[in-house]
Structure 1
Amino acid sequence: MITERQLEVVLSVVYEYIKNGETVGSRTVSRRYLTGRSSATIRNEMSDLEDLGFLKQTHASSGRIPTTQGYRLYVDSVLQRVDNAGPSVKLLKKMMEHRQGLEKMLASASEMLSRVSDYVGIAAITPLDTVRFHHVNFVRMGERQVLLLVVLQGGLVHQKFIDVAVDMSQEDLDSLAAKLNHFSGMAWSDIKKTVKKELLADIGRYHDECEKAVSAIDSMLGAHEPKIFTGSFSHMMNLQDFQDLGRMQALCSFLEEEESMAELVKRCSIDGLNVMIGEENGLPGMKGSSIVAATGEAGGQKAVVGVIGPERMDYEKAIASIDGVLRKLDSESAEKEEIKK
């Protein structure tokens, strides 16, 4: 546990370092932030904070810079001033509820965030097979055609026509649906193998039709990884933190790896405003980088909109950028709806 004065010192160092990118000395903190404290007092506190893991020195005679732990303390203080289920998250959920043109809006969000924040804008939507399904219906439409209806958690309905090799009665179709609905409330990605095995065992005479039904649901609910949109990262090349070409190349490579990005999105998919700093990400490609993201959930699906930047990110600006972009997209969407009327 740190003292109130130590907290003030950490927040001052982080704020100054974010602003200027230079190591921060005790005299700077005393003169600009804690004017009632002497430079000697602050120097002692900075030494103690280094021992506690909140600050570090780049070399023996330098001032201090924040560690990941120091940034976390600062970010938590920022988040305390921001409603964690605030405007960004509410706007994102509103976008998801409309659904029409959602992917296009998310792609626009990632590009706009890159421009207004100078970091890399990202947006993602989770695959439908991670959504819990409510129930399945089969409707006999003709001698060899069946309408498949899949109702997901939140009321989202998907439908598809299936051509079958043999005529199935509505009673047989209802029996098939009942066996599938036994798994109601579970995610398709978790149950599809079990479902297929049980169906084929129980309704052997309709083996091919059952297999076709499972395949139809699987193809309908889509891929197993989130769909990710990444904005331009050319703006980041001008940042002081990425003047090291090797570091920039490492981050660019990470952004282009679908599996790594999918894992990152998964880790920050907690409903609300999420910030993961440097080492907290647990991913080698994100060492020295941070992500700030708003996550919303609607109809059982989650969407993420945020920015990736250096650990020395202006976190308050990043949060404001996400909010501003989502407001703009919401306004544009409302204008289009008004024109249609």
Structure 2
Amino acid sequence: MLTERQLEIVLSVVYEYIQTGEPAGSRTISKKYLRGSSPATIRNEMADLEEMGYFYQPHTSAGRLPTSKAYRLYVDSIMQRRRSAPAETEKWKKEIRERRQGVDSILGYVSQLLGKATNCVGVAALSALGEVQIQRVNFVRLGGSTVLVLIVLEGGLVHHANIQLPCEISPDILDDLARKISAVACGHPWGQVRDALFTYVLDGLERVWDTCREALVQMDAILNRRNSRLFVGGAQHILNLPDFQDIGKFQTVLSLLEQEQALADMVERYSIKQGVSVTIGEEISEEMKECSLVLVPAPGYGRRTILGLIGPLRMDYEKSISILETIAEDLDDSLVN
């Protein structure tokens, strides 16, 4: 358990390093942040904190640098504070609202904007339809064996398609099928209930099982036709950061960006349904121990949308989180309208 002074020293060292990129010495911390404590007192505390895993020294005569453990303490601290919107907020919102070429265009632009505004790699991810909760399913007989299927997803988004069944089926049976599907699927993502539905709809509909099964197969095709999509922007901006002048660190990030599925899996794994998620260093993986991942969910288009940043451990977390939250808040209207 850290004392109050130790906590202040950790937060001060992290903040100083984020601002300057230079190791923080006891004299600097005493002069700029803890004026009531002498450099000697702070030096002793820093030595203890180094033993506790919060700091390390690049060489004996240098000041201290924060570890992932110190960054985690810092991030947890700033998450409890109220954050102000960036000065460019209205400019960014106006630019996003002016883009009406569709969701892909908007999210591609947002990923570039995030990268440019932070010197990190901007990420925007749009979930697959099969990952979005279903609200209701209806079938409308159009004539012969042709049926219109209406799938209402969370947020009111409606997907529809004409499907061909093996044979004609009565409106009563179609209504019964729709009720059964809706009863199981309502409030759940399709991917979680599809297998159970194939068993459940058989109950009471055995005589038309082949037809009902075909309806489910075609629904599955509709909901999985478009996989989750990932947009990445601003990778070139990380070259502006001293942290990535080391070619090894830069290549680690580039290697991840080349593996689209691995990157999409990482974004999905570390995002949360509500609020900001910050994953630091070894919390991501050994390969990504010099990086941090900040993710924020955003409303939009009836599907789960995630905005994020991949950057160095020495990321300006408060600024980055503020930018992500500001842009995420405005995506609802810009994506739907």
Note if 1:279 corresponds to 2:275. Answer: no
* TM superposition shift of 1:260: 2.1
Note if 1:270 corresponds to 2:291. Answer: no
Gaps of 5+ in 1: none
CA contact (8 A) 1:269 1:304 kept: no
CA contact (8 A) 1:112 1:325 kept: no
Q: Deviations over 1:6-59 (max 9, x none)?
A: 111111111111122222211221222222221110001111212222222233
Code of the residue aligned with 2:192 in structure 1: it is: D
* TM superposition shift of 1:165: 3.2
Code of the residue aligned with 1:275 in structure 2: it is: V
Query: In the aligned structure 1, how far is the partner of 2:155 from the partner of 2:327?
Result: 26
Q: Deviations over 1:277-329 (max 9, x none)?
A: 11222x34422111222213468632111211001111122134335655887
Q: Which residue, out of 301, 309, 319, partners 2:311?
A: 309
- Work out the number of aligned pairs and report it: 327
CA contact (8 A) 1:254 1:285 kept: no
SS in 1 for 2:188: coil
- Equivalent runs, 1:157-306 vs 2, <5 Å: 157-183=158-184, 184-199=186-201, 203-222=205-224, 226-266=228-268, 267-281=270-284, 283-297=285-299, 301-306=303-308
Query: In the aligned structure 1, how far is the partner of 2:259 from the partner of 2:221?
Result: 24
Query: In the aligned structure 2, how far is the partner of 1:248 from the partner of 1:160?
Result: 46
* TM superposition shift of 1:193: 2.0
Query: In the aligned structure 1, how far is the partner of 2:313 from the partner of 2:297?
Result: 20
| Aligned CA distance change for structure 1 residues 213 and 155 (closer, same or farther; 3 Å) | same
What does residue 31 of structure 1 align with? 31
CA contact (8 A) 2:299 2:329 kept: no
Query: In the aligned structure 2, how far is the partner of 1:194 from the partner of 1:80?
Result: 42
TM-score (norm 2): 0.85
What does residue 321 of structure 1 align with? 323
* TM superposition shift of 1:241: 0.9
What does residue 46 of structure 1 align with? 46
| Aligned CA distance change for structure 1 residues 100 and 302 (closer, same or farther; 3 Å) | farther
Answer with 184-193 or 229-238: which moved more.
184-193
Identity of aligned residues (%): 43
Output the aligned Cα RMSD.
Answer: 3.2
Query: In the aligned structure 2, how far is the partner of 1:203 from the partner of 1:100?
Result: 44
TM-score (norm 1): 0.84
Code of the residue aligned with 2:250 in structure 1: it is: M
Gaps of 5+ in 2: none
| Aligned CA distance change for structure 1 residues 328 and 213 (closer, same or farther; 3 Å) | closer
Note if 1:81 corresponds to 2:68. Answer: no
Query: In the aligned structure 2, how far is the partner of 1:2 from the partner of 1:125?
Result: 41
CA contact (8 A) 1:254 1:286 kept: no
| Aligned CA distance change for structure 1 residues 270 and 329 (closer, same or farther; 3 Å) | closer
| Aligned CA distance change for structure 1 residues 230 and 298 (closer, same or farther; 3 Å) | closer
| Aligned CA distance change for structure 1 residues 286 and 270 (closer, same or farther; 3 Å) | farther
Query: In the aligned structure 1, how far is the partner of 2:332 from the partner of 2:201?
Result: 44
Q: Deviations over 1:174-195 (max 9, x none)?
A: 2222332231332210121222
Query: In the aligned structure 2, how far is the partner of 1:26 from the partner of 1:57?
Result: 12
